[in-house]
Amino acid sequence: MTGGAFKNSSNLLGRRREIEELTRAVERIKDDLSAMQQQMQKNRSERNRLLEQKSTVNEEIQEQSLKRNTAQVNLDQEKNRGSEIRKDYEHAQREGAEIEGQIREIQSNRSRITEEMEAEM
């Protein structure tokens, strides 16, 4: 029986060493876990920052798109207005030419009538 007691004490030393190694391993794992949690929190913060930045950029893009669309609508309206002005100008030129023709005709008739009146007198 004394031999059995001796075996138990050597087994206890081996288990104590194993427990110490496992305790150190657990501490290393805890440290690794803590570091990973910190990195994960940093990553979340960076992700949130990037999402906010993306949202801001999307808003700016929408504003620029709206401005561009508004500018395009304004440009189209100005082109239409310019086209209407050209049509009105051309119409006014034709009317002016017609009036000038009528003035020449009136002057010609006036001269003819004046000549006829002088010839009758």
Residue 8: pLDDT over 90:
no
Q: State yes or no: pLDDT of 5 exceeds 80.
A: no
- Provide mean pLDDT across the span 107-117: 90
Give the integer Cα–Cα distance in Å for 93 and 99.
10
Query: Mean pLDDT, to the nearest integer, of 1-7?
Result: 49
Distance from C-alpha of 16 to C-alpha of 32, rounded to nearest angstrom: 24
Buried/exposed 52-87: b ≥16 CB within 10 Å, e otherwise: eeeeeeeeeeeeeeeeeeeeeeeeeeeeeeeeeeee
119: confidence class by pLDDT, cuts 50, 70, 90:
confident
**H helix runs in the chain, sequence order:** 2-120
The pTM score is 0.51
The yes-or-no verdict on residue 37 having pLDDT over 60 is yes
